[in-house]
Structure 1
């Protein structure tokens, strides 16, 4: 692991350092390390949503470090600063994100913050893929926001046409024409490697998201043996991770007890939360829902 740059948050005395994490298959990932001013009492990896860069989670990661947690944010291979060459040349897939990237980040977290409890905050795909991690049992607990199966069949009619267009028209046409999916053209994050987009399309057209790939895309997994405590947060104005899709995702974890909390924006004094805004500063008064949950296991 090599350091790229380092800086301090002068207001909170949080140290933020850009690092490189090398996966078992030698793929390098761009990451950021957030260290609290005192020795960390626990450590958290933030698993990003599909096509979302680590900078999106900076404010949330800073908050976690202020609460005494060591934190790592990262760009999955083929995304953001982890793109090597062009996105068109990337061989990344959702499976490699779960099997290679996430375990490497957890190992780096353990190296930087030894002998403390380890947690995952998963956003969408960052919580869906944890059953592919060979070291998933090193996590003490996890808390997901907006993580669900993303099944098209469970989406509200008002969003269904848009979702079908993106998954079943835009992705295959974009992959055909450009060799990758230009998600940024439709406000869906960073450009996506074609295998990532192709698996995303396949899994969201099925049931149980990653379960759709069992026996084909996914040869080995740990979903059926995971018994780690978990909390699943969702917003009731989220068109993707609605309550039916959260339950559909949970069906992939047959031996895991899970808490589910549905957030109603108006009752929480915010105009909207949706699929993305939980991590914005406008929702920072909701962030203790994550830290309070983890403190039960420290």
Structure 2
């Protein structure tokens, strides 16, 4: 006889899930504590860990999928929130004393130190989104950055934007946000589609730096001991999309001119070339745009050629 007893189908394999990111605390030189998350490398560990520094008004969670993907490629990765925003907001936003210049001089400096201490590396790669890539000239430990990969990185200079968007940016950051700050005690940037609400001084300085051009140079122009822009020799790779209203060819050039000794490569990316309808200023890190991530990884690993200024 033929045994017709049905056999059980093999149990489906349990889905492979990445380990949850590990919460960390970054303590700055002035005592300010920042909240961060660590994504441990999986597989063969690459010698350079990665620090992801957010854009102005963007919380660290926005970068977690990208950070986890980098970890799956063998990089230790840390993501953090600057003082006064996201998980690092440790007091009421109204009246918060944070200043934009402190995001570089204090927060990024401390975050770099923590990543190097945790990983045991001597240098790291800084993946900076917008403002996260604009402040390397404020860092006394800039030599610890092996490469800077700037995503949508520029000075946000109003004079380098397309006229229609420049008008909106001037009105929002130059007039409405400062006025609202007087009444609210903080910068209600979310009202104007400019990300999370910010501490008052951060919002004001953001507008002032974008109006003047040169971004962080405005904070240290008369403070030579705190100005490292001319000393930075870190290779820089900038990615910006053709449909980005903020990081345009002109505003990218405005950033690079502030770092005259740094070799650089600029990649101007057309969304349609990657089967995308839009990239803009933010979409680089979205799961829907993960097709862009391998070219970012190549830059993280220094596989893109560098062109001197």
> So what's the TM-score if we normalise by structure 2?
0.89
Q: How far off its partner does 1:116 sit?
A: 5.8
2:59 is the alignment partner of 1:23: no
Correspondence for 2:132 among 126, 134, 137: 126
Which residue number in structure 2 is paired with residue 210 of structure 1? Answer: 216
Structure 1 residues 189 and 25, CA gap change in structure 2 (3 angstroms)? same
2:67 is the alignment partner of 1:57: no
Which residue number in structure 2 is paired with residue 7 of structure 1? Answer: none
Specify the SS of the correspondent of 1:21.
Answer: strand
1:140-191 Cα shifts (integer Å, max 9, x gaps): 1110011111111111122122111111221111111111111111221111
**Is 1:230–1:259's contact at 8 Å kept on the other side of the alignment?**
yes
Aligned equivalents of 1:169, 1:93: Cα separation in 2: 19
Query: Residues 9-48 of structure 1: matches in 2 within 5 Å?
Result: 11-38=16-43, 40-41=45-46, 42-48=48-54
Which residue number in structure 2 is paired with residue 288 of structure 1? Answer: 294
Query: Residues 61-140 of structure 1: matches in 2 within 5 Å?
Result: 61-115=67-121, 117-140=123-146
Which residue number in structure 2 is paired with residue 254 of structure 1? Answer: 260
Q: Give the gaps of 5 or more residues in structure 1.
A: 1-9
Which residue number in structure 1 is paired with residue 160 of structure 2? Answer: 154
Aligned equivalents of 2:301, 2:161: Cα separation in 1: 34
The Cα RMSD (Å) is: 1.6
2:197 is the alignment partner of 1:183: no
Structure 1 residues 53 and 217, CA gap change in structure 2 (3 angstroms)? farther
Correspondence for 2:274 among 249, 261, 268: 268
**Is 2:147–2:302's contact at 8 Å kept on the other side of the alignment?**
no
Which of structures 1 and 2 has the bigger CA Rg? 2
Q: Give the gaps of 5 or more residues in structure 2.
A: 1-14, 304-309
Q: How far off its partner does 1:38 sit?
A: 3.8
> So what's the TM-score if we normalise by structure 1?
0.92
**Is 2:186–2:200's contact at 8 Å kept on the other side of the alignment?**
yes
Aligned equivalents of 1:134, 1:148: Cα separation in 2: 21
Which residue number in structure 2 is paired with residue 236 of structure 1? Answer: 242
**Is 2:101–2:219's contact at 8 Å kept on the other side of the alignment?**
no
Aligned equivalents of 1:217, 1:161: Cα separation in 2: 31
1:237-263 Cα shifts (integer Å, max 9, x gaps): 000010100001101001111000000
Q: How far off its partner does 1:233 sit?
A: 0.5
Aligned equivalents of 1:129, 1:11: Cα separation in 2: 38
Aligned equivalents of 1:210, 1:26: Cα separation in 2: 23
Specify the SS of the correspondent of 1:19.
Answer: strand
Task: Count the aligned residue pairs.
Answer: 288
Aligned equivalents of 1:189, 1:296: Cα separation in 2: 31
